[in-house]
Chain A
Amino acid sequence: MVTVGALLVAFLAYQLVFTNVLGERSQKAAEPALQQRYATAEIEVADTIPVAPPTTTTMPEGTTTTTQVVEAARYTEPAPDAGTPFGEIAIPSIGLDKVLFEGVDVATLKKGPGHMPWTPLPGQPGNAVVSGHRTTYGAPFFDLDKLKNGDQIIVTTALGKSVYEIRRTIIVAPTDVWVTQEMQGAWLTLTTCNPKYSARERLIVQAALIEGPNYLYVETERQRGLQGAS
């Protein structure tokens, strides 16, 4: 009985204290590589779309002038290598500020929140998915249940700062992979375990892009979609 009790205490100390020390250490160690990426990543324009159709005006003397077409650009950054830091995620309302890593494998998530590589990078059109530990390894998403609709999530990458606004929070089964599916517009989906200290369910937070380098492109595409539908 004493041995079982001692093992249980050791297990809890390992999971809730030791892994959190390791997680914080990984976060600090990632800073130089992150700054290196910010300094060297080459930003490219992947696509442009006109914000408004060109207009041609005929002057009284018969000459015509065409107004300059304003274009919205979609900026991209190089895909990060697996397991490397590529950005930061901040949620001011719960005091979260962590380095983001590429990948959701066991080893990567021990360092911090990880981006699912088969989804777009944060700041890009589509549904960017980021997973993180709830209670161990730095517990980046410990307070995710305290978020409310309208709270902001700020993701910084080599591209710049992308601001998201929370639109919904749901609880799903661990097998509900549909939450990672492609979505119209630019979205950020955060996933973590639920309830605290259990992996029985997943807490999902979904937020829409409201500001950032690709916001004009995303908004223009959305409005074109609406016009096409009507």
Chain B
Amino acid sequence: MRWLYGVLPGPPAVKVVLIVLIVLVALVLLGLLFEWAGQFLDTGGTLALLSFQS
């Protein structure tokens, strides 16, 4: 986080806003990744012509 703070441009307030935005985007992407990977754990038991298809 310190490294990120150091490389971001602008005054301290802008850097903090950018870090918050980056963290939020990273969390959303992580959530999407977890949802996708979750299909291999449990699809909800649906049956389909293709595996892992709901």
Contact = CB atoms under 8 A, between A and B. Distances in A.
Q: Do A and B bind each other?
A: yes
Interface of A: 7, 10-11, 14-15, 19, 104-106, 109-110, 114, 131-137, 141, 173-177, 179-180, 190-193, 197-199, 202-203
B23 to A, nearest CB: 14
Given A11-B37, A19-B38, A177 B48 contact: yes
Given A175-B49, A199-B52, A10 B42 contact: no
Interface string B16-54: 000000000000001100100111111111111111101
Nearest to B33: A11
Interface residues on B, range: 20 to 34
Contacts of A141: 45
B45 A202 contact: yes
B30 to A, nearest CB: 7
A57 B45 CA distance: 57
Given A104-B46, A132-B45, A175-B47, 10 more contacts: A15-B38, A15-B41, A109-B44, A133-B45, A174-B47, A176-B47, A179-B47, A180-B47, A190-B45, A199-B39
Contacts, number: 87
Contact of B54 (A106, A179, A190, A202): A106
B41 A198 contact: yes
20 contacts: A11-B34, A11-B37, A14-B34, A15-B38, A105-B54, A109-B45, A133-B44, A134-B42, A135-B42, A136-B38, A136-B41, A137-B44, A174-B46, A174-B51, A175-B49, A180-B47, A191-B45, A193-B42, A199-B41, A199-B51
